[in-house]
Structure 1
Amino acid sequence: MKAALSPTRFSQSTVSFLIGITGVLSLLPFVALCWYAHPSADDFLTANDVSKHGHWGYISYMYYHWTGRYTAAALWGLLNPVAYGYITEGYGLVCLLMILLLPVAAYLLFRVLLGEQYKRRYAWLAAGALTALFLFQMPSPAEGFYWITSDYNYMVPACLTLLLLGALVRHANMPAGAARRKWLGVAALLASVVVGGNETNALPLLVGLGSFTLLRCIQQRRIDWEYMLLSAVVVAACAVAFLAPGNFVRMHEHRQQYTVLQAVDRGALSAYRCLINWLGNGVLLAITVLLAPLSYRLSRVPDLPLNRLAQNPLFITLLLPVSVIIVFSLAHYATSTSMPPRSQNVLYLFFLVGWFVNAHAWARRYWSRATAPADAVPAYAHWLLVGWVVLAFAVGHRFRARGREKVDNTNNIMLAYQDWLSGAAARYDAQLTARYQYLHSWESANTPDVVVEPLRNPSKTLLFYDITPTTDDWSNQAYAEFFGKKSIRVSAEQVVAP
């Protein structure tokens, strides 16, 4: 069955073209900005530690002295160009690969969810739409794509989680036998890698898979040994990651401020604020309503893997907030601070996937009990919603629902275009390139304590963190050690924040 996925109000080719061009144009500025990306903060610290302990020794050092994130540590030590002494060579290429990994992972997931009933181009269109929505208001593009330390720590495990979900769906739709066991093995391998990325990926996986396994055993009134085995793999991987000696070393450096109950209270408040920010501009709500006719068509397709995934809407509805609150609570308890934007990037991606799967699950339950009208949305409401989405994408960077932070609800796509086309990214690249040349020059060779110029009007999309006027800042010290200086700082004049 090669059914069309588009609503009847537009032709199939028109909808496909609009979605495709939106996905390409949304991704384009972020791809272009890769060539202006530069390392910062932990990139230099990693390079220094690798030079001391070796690429493989670095992984062991991190596990015992800083973090149990074994997947991230392996990627930091083995696949970061800065760890091989390259500041500019290859850095943008890695950023590019990380950006392209997201739509590819989304495509592979949608390819599984749509099964053989639909052509591959529909999976690509769905992946492009999801990528565009993620880029539109992800909490921090700089920490998400243009800082390799964060890429390996957060975005890689997040994309692998999408592949893990696809492997689980594939496993569930396979008959008993070698093929089913193969996909169970693939899921177990991916789960082990994902858990070693960071807690933002590991905790929802632990809670979600454990809850699903328990629910499945209760419903079937027997032990499901396959899911029990997979759950055991996840529990073992979490034990290896969470109980690493390095975690306790790192936690010891943070003064504990919150009890468990206080951390949960603050975690729930943080989750609520994020939900308001993500839904505040109405884009997700408008698109969800516009997709109602599509949800109806999909709900009528027999043996569609997406429908199998959406069998239990109540479970998905409960899993989303519970997972988000747990992750936020852990951040408050472990570090006594709020969760950084790089972690929120991952939560937002999972929220998007969960939101649309949940919406389809509840719509599917409704469609199964009621006769759907030819058009679920009246014509005037349809055009108003389309107009609102277009307006939000076009001018959302100027008129937005204000949150607690200046970056809440920001249209990242328009800001990326501004940084690219206005020359801000090129100036950012030129300033840092000039700084490197000076640090390697004869002029600074005999100057152990170096003062460099601060960045002027840096790219908002690219810059995560630059050195400060304070020499005892840990980032400054890592920067200085990498360049072979006693100290490096920027001049004390006013530094323009990104």
Structure 2
Amino acid sequence: MEKDQSDIFYQRVFIGLFILATVPFVLLFLYNHPSPEDFYFSYEARIKSLWENSKIQYRHGTGRYFQNFLLYLTPVYDKFFISYKAGCFLFMASFFSSVLLSVSLLTVKLISFRERILISLVIIFTYLYAMPEVSSGFYWYGGISAYHSGIILVPIFFAFLVKSGNSINSASGLVYTFMALIVLILITGVNEILAILLFLFTLFLNIRHFLKDRSIKWQYVVFAVASGIFLYILLKSPGNKFRLTQFPGNTNFSYSFFNSFVFLYQNILSWIFNSPLLACSLILLPVYFKISEKKKILKINY
């Protein structure tokens, strides 16, 4: 009993501390201001329909169809930019909700809701303080729409995917499968990296299921086919060719391939030693031990 009370006190203290640590990032939204690009997309939305704007962007800008839709909604409506500040803040709040959903999916029945909140706050804190450029990640609508919107949607896709597999009847399974498919299509239209990773994941799902059960699951096939089709639509945009001409060495695959690993290696070291990652990991040790103990108990019982 005393141990439980001390654990609750420990969790409340650190939840409060991590909330305080994120307050400066929230206050910065009060001073947020649209970029020239935001004014451009807001103006285009006023003089063109969504369909017309989407066609122009696909032909001359980018194949990121869902990002183009979000850019069409760029919230520059008032002279004090309250809508812009609120819109960017809502994305950050959605990002926290997305992280919390991810933690909940990974630790279902293992830890309390308070502990999930603590883990989510630690992730957000570490993420914000380790970002190379926070301004482009959360305070610029164009950056949010291109990168964080997809990250926000990924846990939602997995939640629907899990629900579709665990549904007690075929009707609810179909609904969850359809919702997962819609979210998958939206993620594919955010940026090329997420689109390729998601396509590879759907292929992995099909291969794993076939090797394990010697059968084909139609939901996984639908996900793979849809992911492949919309990835093709994304990559075949004429606007992509124009954007490629703006970067020197854009056809040098070997340089890009090998330097990606160098960049990854350097950033992993930076992430570990130049961010609060190690300190935050130590703070979460009691929660990690609890998860480990619960897993052992579940294995013994089942």
Q: CA deviation at 1:278?
A: 1.1
* RMSD of Structure 2 on Structure 1 (CA): 2.8
The answer for the alignment partner of 2:69 in structure 1 is: 74
**Are the structure 2 counterparts of residues 117 and 170 from structure 1 closer, same or farther at C-alpha, using a change threshold of 3 Å?**
farther
Q: CA deviation at 1:100?
A: 0.8
The answer for the alignment partner of 1:299 in structure 2 is: 295
Question: Normalising by structure 2, what TM-score?
Answer: 0.86
The answer for the alignment partner of 1:308 in structure 2 is: none
Distance in 2 of aligned mates of 1:86 and 1:231: 45
Q: CA deviation at 1:69?
A: 0.6
Which amino acid in 2 is paired with 1:302?
L
Distance in 2 of aligned mates of 1:90 and 1:230: 36
On the 8 A contact 1:53/1:61 being kept in 2, the answer is: no
Matches within 5 A, 1:161-200: 161-175=154-168, 177-200=170-193
Q: CA deviation at 1:207?
A: 2.0
**Are the structure 2 counterparts of residues 25 and 292 from structure 1 closer, same or farther at C-alpha, using a change threshold of 3 Å?**
same
Deviations 1:261-301 (A, max 9, x none): 22211111111112111112474355556254133124235
Which amino acid in 1 is paired with 2:296?
R
On the 8 A contact 2:126/2:275 being kept in 1, the answer is: no
Structure 1, unaligned stretches of length 5 or more?
A: 304-366, 368-498
Matches within 5 A, 1:109-258: 109-115=102-108, 119-175=112-168, 177-258=170-251
Distance in 2 of aligned mates of 1:99 and 1:270: 26
Q: CA deviation at 1:89?
A: 3.6
Deviations 1:176-219 (A, max 9, x none): 62233322222111111111111232222222232232122212
The answer for the alignment partner of 2:39 in structure 1 is: 44
Q: Which has the larger radius of gyration?
A: 1
Which amino acid in 1 is paired with 2:24?
P
Which amino acid in 1 is paired with 2:228?
V
How many residues align? The count is: 296
Distance in 2 of aligned mates of 1:271 and 1:116: 34
**Are the structure 2 counterparts of residues 175 and 302 from structure 1 closer, same or farther at C-alpha, using a change threshold of 3 Å?**
farther
On the 8 A contact 2:129/2:275 being kept in 1, the answer is: no
Deviations 1:4-58 (A, max 9, x none): 9xxx698221232133113311321111110100011421332344455345422
On the 8 A contact 1:40/1:147 being kept in 2, the answer is: yes
Matches within 5 A, 1:341-356: none
Question: Normalising by structure 1, what TM-score?
Answer: 0.54
Which protein has the bigger helix share? 2
Q: CA deviation at 1:93?
A: 1.0
Deviations 1:43-101 (A, max 9, x none): 13323444553454222210111101111111111x2123x575624111112111111
Deviations 1:321-354 (A, max 9, x none): xxxxxxxxxxxxxxxxxxxxxxxxxxxxxxxxxx
Distance in 2 of aligned mates of 1:117 and 1:134: 24
On the 8 A contact 1:164/1:187 being kept in 2, the answer is: yes
Distance in 2 of aligned mates of 1:136 and 1:127: 14
On the 8 A contact 2:126/2:280 being kept in 1, the answer is: no
Give the % identical residues.
22
Which amino acid in 1 is paired with 2:103?
F
2:34 counterpart SS class: coil
**Are the structure 2 counterparts of residues 37 and 287 from structure 1 closer, same or farther at C-alpha, using a change threshold of 3 Å?**
closer
Structure 2, unaligned stretches of length 5 or more?
A: none
Deviations 1:345-399 (A, max 9, x none): xxxxxxxxxxxxxxxxxxxxxx9xxxxxxxxxxxxxxxxxxxxxxxxxxxxxxxx
2:12 counterpart SS class: helix
**Are the structure 2 counterparts of residues 26 and 199 from structure 1 closer, same or farther at C-alpha, using a change threshold of 3 Å?**
farther
On the 8 A contact 1:81/1:87 being kept in 2, the answer is: no
